[in-house]
Every structure is written in C-alpha cells, then in structure tokens.
C-alpha cells in the first residue's frame, strides 16, 4: 500500500508538489492521528467524569429530596401529634363543624409557614372538616389515596390535577398523617399538609443553598443542566430550569425516555447518554424514588457537556491548519529556492540543445546545484569546441568526398568509354542472373536497349540457341555461375535478336568473383560472328572449290595417262612409257599435295571429323606397310615389325590412323638411306597403345627439333634428301594425335643417328569429334 502511494507521489510533476505531499503526509498525518486519538481519549474521560459528576449530583439531589420528604413528613406527623389539633379534631368530630374555626385559626397562625400552601384536616370519613382555607372545608377526599393511606401512616402524594386544593394541583403534593387519640389510639382524623413544590424546586435547583448563603451551587456546570422530577405517570412535575424552551412547554410534558422507562419497569437507575424528552442528546443520571414512583433526572446537554471536546477539536483543527500552512509556505519557499536553479539549469539545457552554444547558466546558490551549474557551463564550452572541430572535419570530409566522387566519376566514365568501345558485346549479370551491365555493342547485337534489359533476367535478352537443334543454349552462363569456371559457347550458337532474327555468335562466359573469391555474378562476352562465319564458309568453300578445281584437271591427266599406260591406245615404246610414267607420278604428287593442303585447311579450321569405330590397329598398320612395299624393296631396307600379343580392337577413326601411319612409315622410309633399318613396334601399355617407328636414317638436327611439328617446316637435311616434301605431314599427324587424346614425340640424338617416333593412343580410344569434313 505504501508502495502504491509512493509511486503515485513520484509521478507528481514538480518538486514542490512532491515536497508538499511528503511533508503534509509525514507531518500532518501523524499529528492528525495523534490529535484524533487524544481527543477521543479526552472525550471518554470527560464523559466518565461528567457521568460521575452527574451521578454524584443525582445522588446528592436524591438525598436532598429524601431529606426534604423526611422533613415534611416529620412536620406533618408533628402536626398530627399536636395536642391542640388532636383536641380540637376530637371536638369537631363530636360536635358541629363550627367549632372548627378555632382550629382553622390555630392552623393558620401556628402552622402554615413558607412552602405550606395549606393544612386540612379530614374526618375519618374523608370529609374535610378543618382547613386553613375556608373553601376547602366540606370536600370529600375519601377516594383519594392520600386519605386512604393517611389513615394508617404518613403518606406523601402528589396532588392530582383534577382535585385542587388551595388553588394548587398537579405538581404540588400533600402529606397526610393520621391523627390518633393519644390515650385511646383511636383514629380521630387525617391531617393533610399541602406543600408547594417550590421549596423542593429551590432545593433541587440549588437556589435554596444560595438563599441560605452558599457561594455556588452548580458545581461549575452551566446552562443546560436540567434537574427535574418525573412522576410515575411519566409526567414532569418539577423542573428547575427557569428560562428555556424546556420551561415553556415542559409543564404537563410527557417524559417517556429511556431512564424513565428503566426506573418504572425495572427499577434500574441509569447514568449515560440518551435522548431526552426533547429529542436532544444528553448526558444524564437517573434516580428512582419508588416510594413515590418518582424519577429524578439530571441531564446535561451533550453539546454543553462535551463542549470542551468541541473546543479541543477546534483547537486541534486550528493547529493542524496552522501547521499545514506552515508546511506549505516552507515548502513553497524552499521549493522555490531549490527548484529555481534547477529550472534555470533545465532551461539552459534546452537553450543549448537548440543550438545556442554560447549560453552559460548563472547559479549562485552555493550548494551542489551551483557546482552542477558550473559543470554544465564547462560542458557547454567543451561542446562548443567539439562542434567547431566537427564542423572543420565535416568540411574537410566534404571536400574529400567531392574529390573522390569526381575521381570515381572520371574512372567510371573512363570504364564506360572503354566498355562502349569494346567491339564485343559485354553483358554482366549478378548471382541471380539479373543483368547489371550491358554495353553498346551488346545492344547493337541483340537489338535490346540498355534500359530494356537492366535488372531483368538475362534469358530475356541473351537468347542463345543452338543452330542445329534450335534449343536454347544458355547453359554455359549458368554453368559459369555454378561451377566458377569459364565456359565457352557451343559452336554454332545463334543469338535471337529482339526482332526475332538470328545471328551467329561466339564466345564465352566467365564467373565474377569478389575479394573473398565468392562468385557474385557472371560476365558474358559475345561476338557477332556472321562475318567470320562467312569468311569461314568462304574459306572452306574456297578450299573445297579450289581443291575441286585443282583436282579435276589432274584426275583427267591421271586417267588419260593410265589409259595410255594400259595400252588402250595401242602399244608404246619404252621411252614413251617412261615419259608417261614420269608424268603420272608428277600428277600423283600434285594430287597428294592438294590433299595435304586440304587436310591442313581442315585442321586449321577445326572442321575435320573424328569417327571412331572398333579398329584393329595391327591390321591397319600392316595394311599401310603393304602399300609401301615397293619403296621398301627398292631401297633394300630391312623392315622389322613387332606386334604385341594381346592387342584388340580399340575405338579409333581408321582413316586418321591411316594418315598417321602413312606419314610416320613414309618418313622413315624416305629419310633412311639404302640398306638402312626400320623397326616398327606396336605395344600395349597400361592405359594406352604405343606405336614406335625407329629408323636408322638421317636423324633430325638438334637445333631444328623444336620446329619439327610446325606447318610447312622441313629440316635442312631432309630437304636435301627429299626435295619435294610438303612440310605438312608431321603437322597433320600431330594435329590428329592431339585431337585423338593421344601423344606424339620423338627421339633423335643427332644428324645421321637415326630417329624414333612414338605415338600413344589411349585405350579409351578416340573421342567423337564433330566436324564437317573428313581428312583426305
């Protein structure tokens, strides 16, 4: 609970209110509680005291009443036993009432004093025979209780309202006593003293005392003390308050209050607080006088009774109010003192925060807040300095950024210029395949503008298709991104332009890596190779055409000569024959040259095909050697062959193999002088087949060995031996071997020391190679 209060407190918005609330709570609250408790206890004490006082008073008053009653009874008895009265009464009874005058006079003179309103004497029948007032004589009191009881003993009773005596009724009373003959004891009559209630009132009211010379009578209690008597009919018949509304309407007032009921019903005397006949809250004590059925009530209005309490409360209230005011003023004053500098600080912070760094706060309270103020000023000063420095840095930075931007701009423009001027189409894409770069040539080739392709998937603008199948050929781009390797476009790739026309292109895709070697994209470079293709085609066509044109006359020569040589046109002389044979050979050589040129062209253009099929290499080799048999015999060469045992068919293009063998064997034969030796070996090794052609020929000069496989190259010593060699043979062989996944090399210690050529073909065999032409 306290925590909640506390949190609410802390939400108050100002120090003032916080201080105020706290002080008020901590000051006033205990004070109030203390005050209330105090008042309560005082109230209780007072209550007790008053009750006690009232009780005492009631008891005293009761005593007084009893004393009074006693006195009037005694008086009455005295009267009753007065001999004169007795005598006279006796006489009156016996004789006529006239003689009562003397009794009356006697009564009058001797006996009626003060509160006695009158005396009357009744005969034993109840008739008044003598009285101090003539009008009383003759009344019949036989029915009245005081007569009946008075016959026996002294009796006090109230006068009933309906039966006035001596002009009194109601609240006054009569005391009766029997008059008995002294000697005989016979009842002579009943004497009745009618007393005015005033005396009792005086007694009760304390006036009697005052009259008798007492200095005070009210015990210090003031105005509302009400002492009154209530009879058994619940009627107030005696009151003491002279002037008050009590008085005005209390005569004949029914008092049906709690203590009255208690007395009459339970004979219980009460002291406490209750509501009196007027409905007012009173403190009262009751005394029951059962003898007469009277109830003595002493009541004090609680208002008056507890007036001191009220006063106390007022005082307490005043004190609290003063205290609260004191607190408030103190707080306000104090708060002002504390809050003002804080507010100054807060305002200063706002000002500085808004940008006015020159502002300094002035606090001279001499306490911690002043030191805070100083620190603040220091901070503002430092801030100012920092801001200055920062401004300078910022300016510097701006300048640098500007410079750098210019540099970058320039570099960018340079790059753009370079890119634009690259003759090839350059397109770059990111990892996801979105185009991020597209140069001018790319636009020209594809027909898409830069803005049409940038950011979009490359497939939309770079549409490569295979020339042969028409299927998309974009895989090489994906492959580059995926594998991180540079890939080439497949041959015969076409690019579909924006307008749908197809353009033959060539080139490659490369992955782009960042500094961490992660693939971030791809660069595709492509060229419109229409021109190249045309040139190629022209070249091949040219070559084809040329070879065709060259061959045609030669084949005509050949056949005609052959026909002649076979004797179709008749017999010839030996000389004629010889000449013709020369021609034939020459033309054959020419054809060989043309074929060689054709092959070289095919090799250069990469257009030759490789069509492997299961080939018996040994058989092929033997076949080739058979072709050369004439030459071997002519030069008397020793030709050895050695074939491995477990040879089998391997995948190879027999035409190409033939060319290889023809060249190697031919070279061996050509460049080995007569009576030389040639050894041919065919071996099977672990993963390949090895062909060895070893000759004892002219060898290859060391300083020319590195050129042996080059196109049109002929070693000097070879030139001497064979004048019309083409220099294309080994070039072709090497090309074929390279395209067959094989290897070729040679050993030749030096000139005239012989040469050995080695060719290895993998057991896997040759791979299919697409091309348009076969080699001749």
Partner 1 sequence: MNTGKKILIIDDDASLQHIYQTKLTSEGFTVFQAFEGKEGLMLVATREPDLIILDIMLPGGMNGFDVLEELKRSAIWKNIPVLILTNLESEGKVAKTIGAHRYLIKADTSLREVIREVKELVK
Pick the closer one to partner 1 by CB: 224 or 587: 587
Residue with tokens 């901590």: 26
Pick the closer one to partner 1 by CB: 21 or 558: 558
Among 129, 529, 598, 698, binds partner 1 (CB under 8 A): 598
Q: Rounded CA gap, 291 and 226, in Å?
A: 23
Give the nearest distance from C-beta 459 to partner 1 in angstroms: 35
Give the nearest distance from C-beta 570 to partner 1 in angstroms: 13
Give the nearest distance from C-beta 547 to partner 1 in angstroms: 6
**Residues 246-285: x where in contact with partner 1 by CB under 8 A, - otherwise, as a string:** ----------------------------------------
Could you tell me the two tokens for 677?
């030796």
Pick the closer one to partner 1 by CB: 386 or 556: 556
Q: Rounded CA gap, 444 and 424, in Å?
A: 10
Give the nearest distance from C-beta 769 to partner 1 in angstroms: 14
- Cβ partners under 8 Å of residue 671, min gap 6: 695, 697, 698, 718, 721, 722, 755
Pick the closer one to partner 1 by CB: 346 or 555: 555
Give the nearest distance from C-beta 706 to partner 1 in angstroms: 32
Q: How many residues does the chain have?
A: 776
Give the nearest distance from C-beta 649 to partner 1 in angstroms: 23
Pick the closer one to partner 1 by CB: 449 or 555: 555
Pick the closer one to partner 1 by CB: 80 or 598: 598
**Residues 541-580: x where in contact with partner 1 by CB under 8 A, - otherwise, as a string:** ---x--xx--xx-xxx-xxx-xx--x-x------------
Pick the closer one to partner 1 by CB: 349 or 544: 544
Residue 619: other Cβ atoms inside 10 A:
13
- Considering only residues 756 to 775 of the shown chain, the ones binding partner 1 according to CB under 8 A are 772-774
Tell me the CA distances in angstroms from 118 to 139, 153, 154, one per residue in order: 14, 20, 17
Residue 660: other Cβ atoms inside 10 A:
27
Give the nearest distance from C-beta 681 to partner 1 in angstroms: 30
* Helices 654-670 and 617-627: angle between axes, nearest 10 degrees: 40
Give the nearest distance from C-beta 723 to partner 1 in angstroms: 23
Give the nearest distance from C-beta 559 to partner 1 in angstroms: 5
3-state SS, 571-628, equals CCCHHHHHHHHHHHHHHHHHHHHHHHHHHHHHHHHCCECECCEEEEHHHHHHHHHHHC
Q: Rounded CA gap, 204 and 198, in Å?
A: 10
Pick the closer one to partner 1 by CB: 396 or 562: 562
Q: Give the binding-site size for partner 1 (rule: CB under 8 A).
A: 23
Q: Rounded CA gap, 179 and 490, in Å?
A: 169
- Per CB under 8 A, 597 contacts partner 1: no
The piece of 588-596, 621-629, 634-642, 734-742 that touches partner 1 (CB under 8 A) is: 588-596
Give the nearest distance from C-beta 609 to partner 1 in angstroms: 8
For β-strands 638-643 and 677-684, DSSP reports them as parallel
Pick the closer one to partner 1 by CB: 65 or 591: 591
Pick the closer one to partner 1 by CB: 364 or 568: 568
Give the nearest distance from C-beta 585 to partner 1 in angstroms: 13
- Per CB under 8 A, 776 contacts partner 1: yes
- Per CB under 8 A, 595 contacts partner 1: yes
Could you tell me the two tokens for 53?
């006082």
Pick the closer one to partner 1 by CB: 34 or 559: 559
CA dihedral 278, 280, 285, 287 (to 10 degrees): 10
Residue among 177, 307, 297, 277 at smallest CA distance from 228: 297
**Residues 507-546: x where in contact with partner 1 by CB under 8 A, - otherwise, as a string:** -------------------------------------x--
Could you tell me the two tokens for 644?
């491995």
Q: In what order do the strands lie in the sheet with 638-643?
A: 638-643, 677-684, 688-695, 755-762, 743-747
The piece of 181-189, 209-217, 514-522, 592-600 that touches partner 1 (CB under 8 A) is: 592-600
Give the nearest distance from C-beta 577 to partner 1 in angstroms: 17
Give the nearest distance from C-beta 743 to partner 1 in angstroms: 27
Pick the closer one to partner 1 by CB: 693 or 728: 728
Q: Rounded CA gap, 612 and 649, in Å?
A: 11
- Per CB under 8 A, 378 contacts partner 1: no
Pick the closer one to partner 1 by CB: 7 or 566: 566
Q: Rounded CA gap, 561 and 555, in Å?
A: 10
Find out whether 503 and 481 touch, Cβ atoms under 8 Å: no
The piece of 84-92, 95-103, 591-599, 683-691 that touches partner 1 (CB under 8 A) is: 591-599
Residue among 568, 20, 121 at smallest CA distance from 334: 20
CA dihedral 157, 159, 165, 169 (to 10 degrees): 150
Residue with tokens 């076409």: 494
Pick the closer one to partner 1 by CB: 261 or 597: 597
Among 154, 594, 665, 668, binds partner 1 (CB under 8 A): 594
- Phi and psi, residue 773, nearest 5°: -130, 150
Give the nearest distance from C-beta 555 to partner 1 in angstroms: 4
Pick the closer one to partner 1 by CB: 328 or 546: 546
- Per CB under 8 A, 646 contacts partner 1: no
Could you tell me the two tokens for 40?
């309560």
Find out whether 759 and 675 touch, Cβ atoms under 8 Å: no
Q: Rounded CA gap, 693 and 663, in Å?
A: 11
Give the nearest distance from C-beta 709 to partner 1 in angstroms: 24
Find out whether 305 and 50 touch, Cβ atoms under 8 Å: yes
Q: Which residues of this chain interact with partner 1, rule CB under 8 A?
A: 544, 547-548, 551-552, 554-556, 558-560, 562-563, 566, 568, 591, 594-595, 598, 772-774, 776
């Amino acid at each position: 609970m306290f925590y909640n209060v506390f949190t609410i407190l802390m939400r108050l918005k100002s120090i003032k209110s916080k201080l105020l609330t706290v002080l008020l709570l901590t000051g006033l609250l205990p004070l109030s509680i203390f005050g209330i408790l105090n008042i309560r206890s005082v109230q209780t004490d007072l209550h007790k005291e008053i009750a006690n006082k009232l009780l005492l008073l009631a008891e005293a008053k009761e005593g007084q009443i009893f004393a009074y009653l006693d006195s009037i009874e005694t008086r009455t008895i005295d009267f009753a036993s007065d001999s004169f009265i007795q005598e006279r009464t006796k006489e009156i009874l016996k004789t006529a009432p006239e003689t009562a005058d003397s009794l009356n006079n006697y009564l009058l003179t001797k006996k009626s004093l003060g509160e006695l309103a009158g005396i009357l004497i009744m005969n034993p029948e109840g008739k008044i025979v003598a009285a101090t007032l003539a009008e009383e004589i003759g009344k019949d009191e036989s029915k009245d209780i005081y007569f009946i009881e008075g016959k026996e003993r002294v009796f006090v009773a109230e006068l009933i309202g309906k039966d006035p005596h001596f002009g009194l009724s109601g609240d006054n009373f009569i005391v009766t006593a029997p008059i008995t003959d002294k000697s005989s004891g016979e009842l002579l009559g009943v004497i009745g003293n009618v007393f005015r209630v005033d005396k009792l009132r005086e007694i009760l009211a304390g006036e009697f005392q005052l009259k008798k010379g007492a200095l005070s009578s009210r015990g210090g209690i003031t105005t509302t003390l009400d002492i009154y008597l209530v009879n058994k009919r619940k009627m107030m018949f005696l009151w003491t308050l002279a002037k008050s509304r009590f008085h005005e309407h209390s005569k004949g007032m029914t008092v049906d209050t709690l203590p009255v009921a208690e007395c009459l019903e339970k004979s219980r005397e009460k002291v406490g607080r209750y509501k009196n006949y007027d409905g007012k809250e009173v403190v009262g004590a009751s005394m029951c006088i059962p003898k007469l059925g009277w109830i003595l009530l002493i009541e004090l209005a609680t208002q008056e009774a507890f007036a001191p309490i009220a006063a106390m409360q007022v005082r307490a209230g005043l004190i609290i109010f003063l205290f609260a005011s004191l607190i408030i003023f103190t707080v306000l004053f104090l708060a002002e003192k504390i809050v003002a500098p804080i507010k100054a600080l807060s305002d200063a912070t706002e000002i500085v925060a808004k940008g006015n760094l020159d502002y300094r706060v002035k606090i001279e309270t001499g306490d911690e807040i002043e030191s805070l103020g100083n620190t603040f000023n220091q901070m503002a000063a430092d801030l100012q300095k920092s801001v200055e420095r920062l401004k300078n840095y910022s300016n510097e930075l701006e300048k640098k950024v500007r410079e750098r931007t210019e540099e970058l701009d320039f570099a960018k423009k340079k790059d753009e210029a370079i890119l634009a001027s690259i003759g090839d189409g350059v397109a770059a894409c990111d990892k996801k395949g979105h185009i991020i770069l597209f140069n001018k040539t790319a636009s020209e080739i594809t027909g898409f503008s830069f803005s049409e392709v940038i950011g979009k998937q490359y497939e939309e603008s770079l549409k490569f298709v295979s020339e042969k199948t028409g299927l998309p050929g974009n895989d090489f781009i994906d492959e580059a991104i995926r594998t991180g390797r540079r890939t080439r476009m497949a041959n015969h790739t076409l690019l579909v332009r924006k307008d749908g026309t197809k353009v033959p292109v060539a080139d490659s895709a490369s992955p782009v890596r960042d500094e961490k070697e992660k693939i971030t994209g791809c660069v595709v470079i492509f060229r419109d190779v229409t021109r190249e293709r045309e040139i190629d085609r022209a070249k091949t066509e040219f070559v084809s055409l040329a070879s065709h044109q060259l061959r045609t006359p030669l084949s005509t020569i050949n056949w005609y000569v052959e026909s002649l040589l076979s004797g179709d046109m008749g017999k010839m002389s030996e000389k004629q024959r010889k000449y013709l044979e020369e021609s034939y050979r020459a033309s054959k050589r020419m054809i060989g040259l043309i074929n060689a040129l054709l092959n070289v062209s095919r090799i250069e253009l990469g257009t030759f095909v490789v069509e492997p099929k299961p080939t018996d290499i040994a058989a092929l080799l033997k076949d080739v050697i058979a072709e050369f048999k004439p030459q071997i015999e002519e030069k008397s060469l020793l030709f050895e062959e050695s074939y491995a045992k477990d040879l089998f068919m391997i995948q190879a293009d027999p035409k190409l193999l033939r060319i290889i063998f023809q060249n190697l064997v031919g070279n061996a034969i050509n460049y080995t002088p007569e009576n030389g030796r040639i050894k041919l070996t065919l071996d099977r090794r672990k993963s390949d087949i090895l062909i060895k052609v070893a000759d004892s020929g002219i060898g290859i000069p060391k300083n020319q060995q590195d050129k042996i496989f080059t196109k049109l190259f002929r070693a000097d010593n070879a030139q001497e031996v064979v004048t019309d060699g083409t220099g294309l043979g080994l070039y072709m062989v090497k090309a074929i071997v390279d395209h067959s996944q094989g290897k070729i090399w040679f050993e030749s210690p030096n000139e005239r020391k012989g040469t050995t050529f080695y060719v290895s073909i993998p057991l896997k065999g040759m791979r299919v190679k697409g091309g348009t032409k076969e080699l001749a």
